[in-house]
């Protein structure tokens, strides 16, 4: 028995809505630095994305058999666009968190750019600055 293309698209819309909700949860987990929640959300996203991929393959197969346009195509397209915007925002949050982490690691380790050292007269001079953290206990 073949599932109707409309049923497939309805399920896809449901999964995209779920992914959108998960993207909101992921944003909150990123903002609150909640790694446990981030891990749980990522696992749910992976499962939903896997099912969505299978449904899309079935939909494309059926679309090849029946070339009529589904009444849900516009809604599906809109929800995918909204999900993409949320995922782009979350990716930017992750990028910011990664940049901050790199900066903090460089600051703690004393690596990266050479610090500017000013002399008594306010002029830049060669030399080394003290590290913020010295590694001694």
Nearest residue to 96 via CA among 34, 31, 22, 19 = 31
Residues 74, 83: Cα–Cα separation, whole Å = 14
| DSSP 3-state of 115 | coil
Nearest residue to 18 via CA among 54, 42, 38, 45 = 45
Q: What is the pLDDT along the chain (137 residues), one digit of tens a residue?
A: 677 888 888 899 999 999 999 999 999 999 998 989 999 999 999 999 999 999 988 888 877 665 556 666 778 888 889 999 999 999 999 999 889 888 888 877 766 666 667 777 777 776 555 555 555 54
| DSSP 3-state of 112 | coil
Residues 26, 88: Cα–Cα separation, whole Å = 12
Domains of the chain: 5-111 (1.20.58)
Tell me the whole-structure pTM to 2 decimals. 0.66
H, E, C per residue of 12-61: HHHHHHHHHHHHHHHHHHHHHCCHHHHHHHHHHHHHHHHHHHHHHHHHHH
DSSP letter, residue 10: H
Phi, psi of 66, deg, nearest 5 = -125, 110
């Amino acid at each position: 028995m073949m599932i109707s293309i409309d049923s497939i698209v309805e399920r896809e819309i449901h999964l995209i809505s779920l992914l959108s909700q998960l993207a909101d949860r992921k944003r909150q987990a990123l903002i609150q630095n909640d790694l446990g929640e981030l891990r749980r959300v990522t696992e749910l996203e992976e499962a939903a994305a896997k099912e969505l991929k299978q449904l899309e393959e079935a939909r494309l197969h059926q679309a090849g058999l029946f070339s009529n346009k589904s009444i849900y195509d516009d809604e599906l397209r809109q929800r995918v666009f909204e999900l993409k915007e949320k995922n782009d925002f979350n990716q930017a949050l992750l990028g910011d968190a990664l940049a901050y982490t790199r900066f903090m690691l460089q600051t703690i380790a004393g690596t990266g750019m050479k610090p500017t050292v000013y002399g008594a007269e306010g002029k830049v001079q060669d030399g080394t600055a003290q590290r913020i953290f010295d590694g001694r206990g």
